[in-house]
Amino acid sequence: IRLSLVGSEMCKETALGDALDHRFLDEIPGLGKPTLENLCLFIADSLADLQPAPSRIRVWRDSIGDGCVLDLN
C-alpha cells in the first residue's frame, strides 16, 4: 500500500500505512469487504481528523489498471 499526503501529517500517514501494509485486507478491522471503493472510504474515515482535510482519496491497482477516486468536497 502506497500512501501519499501533502503536508505535515506524516505520523497519521505512517499509522494508516502500517495498518494496511503487508496485511490480508480481509483481516483489517472496520474495512469490510475489501473493494477499492471500501478502501477509499476506510482511508477517508481514517484521515477525517486531518487539518486541512483531504479533498480526494485515490486507490488504484497497477497490475490491472483498476482504480477508484473518492471526492470529498
- In this structure, of 10-19, 28-37, 52-61, the range with the lowest mean pLDDT score is 10-19
Q: pLDDT tens digit string along 3-25? A: 656 554 555 556 777 777 777 88
- In this structure, of 28-37, 38-47, 51-60, 61-70, the range with the lowest mean pLDDT score is 51-60
pTM of the model: 0.77
User: HEC string of the chain?
Assistant: CCCCCCCCCHHHHHHHHHHHCCCCHHHCCCCCCCCHHHHHHHHHHHCCCCCCCCCEEEEEECCCCEEEEEECC
